[in-house]
Structure 1
């Protein structure tokens, strides 16, 4: 059965390469065009107050709507035998709750709503970006940097509020030899302020790279004519990988947030 399905898919791909091959094949690949931010109404004149509504605005709003539909509408029944929507919502809730509890500790559970919101927004934005002709808002450093800075400022303020000057113990490695402690303190301080940079670039870079690779293979498919099935197969493989990356990057961003939260609550080495 698996062999039959494989050859059937291969036949469809080959047939599509023959039927939809361009009359004048040419190599024209512009993988970064898909990340261009464009106004939805005219040349930027369609505004809501001081703001210009762009494709990024639209897809971020759609991500928020998707979250509301899943977590609020999908689970409003509170059924003992849950529907599919309620099951997914409960799984997401339990997954993030366990992550916060295991990584940051039980005293961090009070911050669970914010971390859950962060995880779901990134997850929905990533998955919506996999829809053909859509826009991936998390591929832009402008979005991921704001998210990372929110986390950075919050955990820093929380660290000083909870621990006072004792929060600086995060940078003082008391277990190291005394002569090395000042050097390690400088290194720890630099690495701390680099956190929002690595936090944001990791997410935006991985999402952007995957989409650019798919666009490159799509350009090859348009240029190869009857042999377009080769890049189409590659696109299918990369797309499957991107589905996994969409979840993993949301998970990595969230678990790093939990790690930073733990440092704020328990700063001593």
Structure 2
């Protein structure tokens, strides 16, 4: 975490926590190699299954604590999809619910000491963002055909400005997966790097590490909030993109 080199300078390596490593020896990583990334993604999936499948299997009228949490998450995402994408978007609720819960648990698991934050990697977040991008684009084309292009034509703007605005809209549309993925990965990486820096100072200072420990506590609390907010932002942006695909004229 932190060390004193021969030069006498303090060495802190906050980015080492994001290194992808094989689980079973060696340094070579192939596409089929189990890594710390795949392990913690699998654990996130397992947590989702435990909460939404195992935790609700009783379907009790008076729910247990686990069932109450599952129902709260279900109602929260359902209401979000309905409010943003409309009634037509509810048929795609399972997909958005899956995205939200996976990202939420991946973020929270990343806060466990000695764990790995899978959502801090662009490879993970970009895969999800591209899946959303292609899904809503194909949906829009299938449902509306050429009419889907009306999404880029601002009919309420003055006629002379419409071609310029159309170019801007096309560029912003194809930038969506970039911003969608970088926002999540960047926020998770930045927060964990800050915690690692303060932890390095605390390890060096020893008993005098009151300020670094207080800073770690504050940043950790903030990261807990950010973990939920980033899952929410990813899901609600997916709802916005879905709404555009379903109702491009709006």
**1:251 pairs with 2:236:** no
Match of 1:180 in 2: 161
Deviation per CA, 1:125-155: give whole Å up to 9, x if none. 0000000000000000000000000000000
Higher relative contact order (CA 8 A, sep 6+): 1
Residue pair 1:26, 1:223 contacting (<8 A) in 2 also: no
Q: CA deviation at 1:28?
A: 2.3
Match of 1:32 in 2: 15
Q: CA deviation at 1:72?
A: 0.4
Distance 2:36 2:112 in 1: 14
**What secondary structure sits across from 1:179 in the alignment?**
helix
Q: CA deviation at 1:222?
A: 1.4
- The verdict on how the C-alpha distance between 1:249 and 1:258 changes in structure 2, with shifts beyond 3 A counting, is same
Alignment of 1:78-117 (within 5 A): 78-117=59-98
Distance 1:185 1:46 in 2: 44
Distance 2:28 2:215 in 1: 40
**1:118 pairs with 2:91:** no
Match of 1:43 in 2: 26
Distance 1:51 1:150 in 2: 21
Residue pair 1:27, 1:219 contacting (<8 A) in 2 also: no
Indicate the structure (1 or 2) with the bigger Cα radius of gyration.
Answer: 1
Match of 1:134 in 2: 115
User: What residue ranges of structure 2 are gaps of 5+ in the alignment?
Assistant: none
Q: Runs of 4+ in structure 1 displaced over 6 angstroms?
A: none
What is the root-mean-square deviation of aligned Cα atoms in Å?
Answer: 1.8
Match of 1:74 in 2: 55
User: What residue ranges of structure 1 are gaps of 5+ in the alignment?
Assistant: 1-21
Q: CA deviation at 1:46?
A: 9.2
Q: CA deviation at 1:94?
A: 0.3
Q: CA deviation at 1:268?
A: 1.2
- The verdict on how the C-alpha distance between 1:206 and 1:45 changes in structure 2, with shifts beyond 3 A counting, is closer
Match of 1:192 in 2: 173
> Structure 1 length normalisation: TM-score?
0.88
> Structure 2 length normalisation: TM-score?
0.95
Paired residue total: 246
Correspondence for 1:265 among 233, 246, 250: 246
Distance 1:242 1:112 in 2: 27
Deviation per CA, 1:205-245: give whole Å up to 9, x if none. 00000000000001111122322111001000000000000
Correspondence for 2:42 among 61, 71, 85: 61
Match of 1:5 in 2: none
Deviation per CA, 1:76-99: give whole Å up to 9, x if none. 100111111100000000000000
**1:231 pairs with 2:212:** yes
